[in-house]
Structure 1
Amino acid sequence: MQRRFLFSALFSASVVCLGLPHAMAQGATPLRVLTHGSFDLSKDLLAAFEKDAGVKLEIIKAGDAGEMVNKLILTRANPIADVVFGIDNTLAPRAGAADILEPYTGPAAERKAVAELPKGLVPVDYGYVNLNIDKAWFAKKGLALPKSLADLSQPAYAKLLVVQNPATSSPGQAFMLATIAGLGEEGAFDWWKHMRGNGVKVVKGWSEAYYTEFSRNGGAYPIVVSYTSSPAAEVFYSKEKISESPTANLFLKGGVFRQIEGVALVKGGNPAAKEAAGRFIEFLRSAPAQEGLQTTMWVFPAEAGASRVEVIKQHAAEPSTFDELKAPLTEAQSKAWLQRWTKTVLK
C-alpha cells in the first residue's frame, strides 16, 4: 500500500467503470467515487450495489490518501467526484479547513461507530500501524524481542528496523505520529536521532518496506512498520495451509497508531447523483461491505456490532492501548513535524 503524493499525476487518476448489463448501464445514474489506491471491495459486492441502487459506479483511484485530498482541493471549483472514501483522522483537519466535504445526515451518520471521525465524515473502517517482526529470524538469532522503542536504539538492534518515509507514505506518517504521541515531541525526535545512528532503513512506501526490505520476504530487516492485520494476511494468502502466522505484532509504547477511514459527500458534486452518493455511504456501512473489507483492505469494521471474519479474529489482535495525539492534527503541525523528521533522519 504505497501511498505517496505525485503532483504530476493529478489529472491521470485511474478510473474503473464496473460492468452492468448494457440496458441497465445505459439508463443508470453515474456515481463518481474518489478513493485512495488501496480501496478494494469484491466486484460482486460492488455490482450488487449498482444493481440495487440503479447506478453506474466510476471508481477513481487517486494514489495516496494525501494525494486524493489534494486533488479534491485543487478541483473544488469543478469537483471530480460525488463521494470520497479514504480520508482518515490524520487528513480530516486538512479536508475540513479546505471546505471540500458536504455534511451527510443519513442513518449511517447517526449510528455510533466503534471509531469516530470529525463531523462530515462517516467512519467505515479502522486499523493500527505498528511494528511487525519476522518470528523465524529472531528464533534463529536467539535475540530477545525489544520491549520498548528505547531498546531499538541500542547496539544489539542496529540495522534491524525498516520504516517508511512519513512524507511519502501513510503508514510512515502514522508511525511518526505514534512516536510523538507516545514519547512527546522532543522525546520522539531524540529517539529518531538515535535510530539514525543505529542504522534505521528508510524507504518510500509500504510495499518496498514489506516486500523488499523485510527479512520475511528476503530482505535484511526483521522489523518493519506495517499493520496489526498483516499477520492475518500472511495466513490468508499463504500457499500452504498454516495455522500460525510467520510474523507477529509488537505493541510498544510510542509505536502504535490508530487510523480511522471515512466516507463523505463531495461538496459541489453532481446534484443528480446526491441520492446515489448517500446510498453508497450506507452501503459501506452495511453488513456485507463491513465483512468484505476485512479480507480485501485488511482493516477492522467501524460498524458497532459488525462480525469479524475468522482469520481476523484468530490472527489480528487489537492492541489494548495505542498512542493518540493530545490535540487534533493540523496541516501546519503536520508539515512542521515532517520537516523536522526529514532534517533529523535524512539530512
Structure 2
Amino acid sequence: MKKIVAIFLVVSFVAGSALASCSVITGSFEESAKEVTLISYDAFTPAEGIFDDFTAATGATVRVVTAGDTGSMVSKAILTSGNPEGDVMFGIDNTFLSRAQSGNVLLDYTPVDESDVCLNYDKAWFESRGITPPQTFEDLALPTYKGLLTAPDPVNSAPGFAFLVASIEHFGEGKWQNYWKQLKANGVRIASDWTAAYTIDFSGSSGKGKYPIVVSYGSSPAAEVLFSATPLTTAPTGVVTATCFKATEYVGVLRGSKNEELAQKLVDYLLAQKFQESMPTSLFVYPINTDAVLPDVFVKHAVRPTTSSTPSVEKIEKNRDQWIDTWRNIFL
C-alpha cells in the first residue's frame, strides 16, 4: 500500500500548480513591484491556487522560496537581516523564535499555526510482532525497542530540536544527558532532517524503511489517511502522546523588505480564514484563527494531546547552545 509517497506525488503537483499561479519572474524586486516573495521551510506546501484571491485583490503574484529546514532558514535570514532575500517569512517556530528576534529578522512576529511534535509508530509493524508500542520516553531506552527509533538531527531540524527539548523538560537538567546516552547505546538513528526520518527511514511511510518509530507530528496520522492509495477508516500510524512538544509557528514581514506594504497584506492574508482553513490538509498544522473550521479528516485522525511540553522561548534561547553542544558531544 502506498502511503506517504502519495503526499510527495500530490505535493509535487500542488507545489507545481501553486507556483504556476505564482510569479516565476527572475528580475529584481525593483523590476517587479507587483511580486511579493514568501520564504519558508522546505516542507511548506500550500494548497493549489490558494494565493489566487490575494493576486485578484492586490494585483501581485506570490513567489514561494524554500530555504531548507527551519534552523537553516533562520540562520540564512540572520545573515541577510536588513537586506533580505524576500518579503515575508513563514514558519519560524518557538524553538527558533528568540534566535530570530535577537537577529532582528522580522518587523514583528505573529503566531500563524500550532502543532505537536510527538513520537509516531507503525501500528502494523508492532501488531505483526506482538510487541506493545512504546508509551513513554523511558520505553525507548529498553532492549525491546533497540534499533527501532529514527529522529531528526536537533541541530538544524525544528522537530528534532523540539524532541530534544521535550526530553530535557521530562528528565530535567543533569539527567537528560544520560537518557540520550542510553538512546545512542540502544541504536537510535539520527537522520539529517524530518523528511529523511519520516519518508525514508520510517517503516510506516512511503519509504518503508526499517525504523517503526519516528519523531514526527500528532497530525501525521491524518496525513496518512488523507493520502492513502485506498480509503482508510483508521490511521495506520499511532502517536505516543506522553512525548509531545507544542510548537507554534510565526509569520512576519522581513526587516528591509522592498515591498513592505504589500508584504504586510500577504501576512494578513495568511492569517485570514481562507488560508487558515487550507493549512490542516496542506501543511498539517492547526490554524491559529479561531474562525477556521477543521476538516473531518483532521478531527477524526489527528492526535492532539491534552498536555504538551511548552518551555518558554527565553529558557530555550538561554540554554540552546549548551544543550546542542552537550548533545553533539554525546553523538561524536
Paired with 1:213 and 1:62, the residues of 2 have a C-alpha distance of: 23
Encode CA deviations 1:141-198: one digit per residue, 9 max, x unaligned.
Answer: 1112223211221112211211111113221111001101222122222111111111
Give the counterpart of 1:242 among 222, 232, 235: 232
Paired with 1:213 and 1:32, the residues of 2 have a C-alpha distance of: 33
Other structure's SS at 2:150 match: strand
Encode CA deviations 1:189-233: one digit per residue, 9 max, x unaligned.
Answer: 211111111121221122222222222242222111111111000
Would you say how many aligned residue pairs link Structure 1 and Structure 2?
307
Is it true that 1:325 corresponds to 2:325 in the alignment? no
8 Å contact from structure 2 (residues 37, 88) kept in 1: yes
Paired with 1:184 and 1:215, the residues of 2 have a C-alpha distance of: 31
Q: How does 1:106-117 map to 2 (within 5 A)?
A: none
Paired with 1:77 and 1:311, the residues of 2 have a C-alpha distance of: 41
Paired with 2:143 and 2:32, the residues of 1 have a C-alpha distance of: 66
Is it true that 1:48 corresponds to 2:53 in the alignment? yes
Q: How does 1:1-347 map to 2 (within 5 A)?
A: 18-19=21-22, 29-102=34-107, 120-217=108-205, 218-252=208-242, 255-270=243-258, 273-325=259-311, 328-331=314-317, 333-344=319-330, 346-347=331-332
Q: How many angstroms does 1:100 deviate by? A: 2.3
Paired with 2:91 and 2:54, the residues of 1 have a C-alpha distance of: 19
Other structure's SS at 1:41 match: coil
Paired with 2:307 and 2:173, the residues of 1 have a C-alpha distance of: 19
Q: How many angstroms does 1:292 deviate by? A: 0.7
Other structure's SS at 1:307 match: coil
Question: Does 29-38 or 131-140 show the bigger shift?
Answer: 29-38
Encode CA deviations 1:294-325: one digit per residue, 9 max, x unaligned.
Answer: 11111110112421011100000210001122
The percentage of aligned residue pairs carrying the same residue is: 34
8 Å contact from structure 2 (residues 82, 255) kept in 1: no
8 Å contact from structure 1 (residues 135, 246) kept in 2: yes
Paired with 1:327 and 1:207, the residues of 2 have a C-alpha distance of: 25
2:14 paired residue number:
none
CA 17–266 in structure 1, closer or farther in 2 if over 3 Å, else same: farther
Q: Could you tell me which amino acid in structure 1 is paired with residue 130 of structure 2?
A: G
CA 158–58 in structure 1, closer or farther in 2 if over 3 Å, else same: same
Q: How many angstroms does 1:79 deviate by? A: 2.3
8 Å contact from structure 1 (residues 258, 322) kept in 2: yes
Other structure's SS at 1:251 match: strand
Task: Structure 1 unaligned segments of length 5 or more: list them.
Answer: 2-15, 103-119
CA 326–61 in structure 1, closer or farther in 2 if over 3 Å, else same: closer
Instruction: State the TM-score, normalized to the length of structure 1.
Output: 0.83
Q: How many angstroms does 1:134 deviate by? A: 0.8
Paired with 1:133 and 1:60, the residues of 2 have a C-alpha distance of: 32
Q: Could you tell me which amino acid in structure 1 is paired with residue 311 of structure 2?
A: L
8 Å contact from structure 2 (residues 94, 313) kept in 1: no
Paired with 2:313 and 2:82, the residues of 1 have a C-alpha distance of: 31
Q: Could you tell me which amino acid in structure 2 is paired with residue 201 of structure 1?
A: R
CA 56–219 in structure 1, closer or farther in 2 if over 3 Å, else same: closer
Q: Could you tell me which amino acid in structure 2 is paired with residue 209 of structure 1?
A: A
8 Å contact from structure 1 (residues 165, 205) kept in 2: yes
Q: Could you tell me which amino acid in structure 2 is paired with residue 239 of structure 1?
A: A
Encode CA deviations 1:226-277: one digit per residue, 9 max, x unaligned.
Answer: 111110000000000111111011112xx2111111111112211xx22211
Task: Structure 2 unaligned segments of length 5 or more: list them.
Answer: 5-18, 26-30
